[in-house]
Structure 1
Amino acid sequence: MDTAEKKELEAKSSSAPAQPLLPPLAASQAPPTSGSEGDADGEAEERERQARELKAGLHPLKYKFVFWYTRRTPGVRSQTSYEDNIKKIVEFSTVESFWICYCHLSRPSNLPSPTDLHLFKGGIRPLWEDSANCNGGKWIVRFKKIISGRFWEDLVLALVGDQLDYGEDICGIVLSIRFNEDILSIWNRNASDHQAVMVLRDSIKRHLKLPLSYIMEYKPHDASLRDNSSYRNTWLRG
């Protein structure tokens, strides 16, 4: 998305009575459920939230999101210290609140190494062990530092706007600022669903307009737990 398009979307979201940039979640659009009472309660809460936001003249997103931030000293670290280093920045659930917080975040080019920016759906922590993540994995794309910010922004907008295929299967996205490169990763719930994994890969390529020279790698979170590494020893490339 170029600067002109972004300014146009900001103008639309701030003017009333503008049409919603993202429509409220109708019953037919609700994420599939497992039939549990907890899932039903969660969907009811989401519908109530969206109704309140619409009544307030806002434009509700399909999901609530949270930005997280991790800044740590290079070197070996335990899982406990990593979890302690994850800091919640802000949460949002409407188009308006998204633009307010996003415009105040530091650009990736201004962040030191090593730093991680996380954007996850509400209720999901950016940890391999989280119940929403433990059976899943992530697609990984490596970028030169000079261009990573643009791809990160495109991916943020695609996630917030629910533009990626199998969107209900996505838990969140991460931008990892490193010394020689930056890494984007897209986390999904089910690493064993090969069709969902591959369709998500194609959707990411399409929305980011990735050149053919870019290689995407996939790694399940249980493999990351075994070798204590996020990005080494990936088992699927595409």
Structure 2
Amino acid sequence: MRDVIQPMWEDEMNKYGGTWRLKVAKKDTPTVWQELLLAAIGEQLSEGLCEGDSICGVTVAVREKDDLVQVWNFSAKLANNEKMVPVIHALVPNVEFQVVYYKPHQTHAAYESR
């Protein structure tokens, strides 16, 4: 994650953002993690963002069956699947994701109680 931002939707810096969530087969997790991490560092993921938005970080959550790789951005209002998803697929063309979707942090069920 960038600077002092915590990989939690509750972090004040993540307040208006969200995540692209990629459900990945365990065998593909190391490749996806490495490529997206390097792309974030090299600012290649910026190609999938709208003007005024930026990447907060990339995380991986190891799960029992499939893993969840997340690309975090600052502005859910500027998130665009039609731009970001092709960028991700181009970075890992041999990986088939089980699920790819965007989730704004403000849609989290516990967000309203804050």
TM range (shorter): 0.7 to 0.9
User: How big is the alpha-carbon RMSD for the aligned residues of Structure 1 and Structure 2?
Assistant: 2.3
1:122 aligned partner: 3
Which fold has the larger relative contact order, with Cα–Cα distance below 8 Å and residues 6 or more apart in sequence? 2
Which runs of structure 2 are paired with 1:98-177 in the superposition (5 Å)?
120-164=1-45, 165=47, 166=49, 169-177=54-62
Q: CA offset at residue 132 of structure 1?
A: 2.3
Q: 1:102 aligns to what? A: none
Say which SS state the counterpart of residue 202 (structure 1) adopts: helix
**Unaligned ranges ≥5, structure 1:** 1-119, 229-238
Give the alignment of 1:1-238 within 5 angstroms: 120-164=1-45, 165=47, 166=49, 169-195=54-80, 197-209=81-93, 214-224=98-108, 226-227=109-110
The answer on whether the counterparts of 2:17 and 2:75 sit within 8 Å (CA) in structure 1 is yes
Per-residue deviation, 1:208: 2.1
Residue identity (%): 28
State the TM-score, normalized to the length of structure 1: 0.40
The structure-2 alpha-carbon separation of the partners of 1:161 and 1:142, relative to structure 1 and needing over 3 Å to count, comes to same
Cα displacement (A) at 1:128: 1.0
Q: Which residue type is aligned with residue 183 of structure 1? A: L
The number of residue pairs the alignment matches comes to 107
CA drift of 1:134 comes to: 0.8
1:131 Cα deviation from its structure 2 partner: 2.7
Structure number, greater radius of gyration? 1
Q: Any idea what SS the aligned residue of 1:135 has?
A: coil
1:169-220 deviation line (CA, Å, top 9, x unaligned) = 110111000111111111111111244x542222222222265664311111
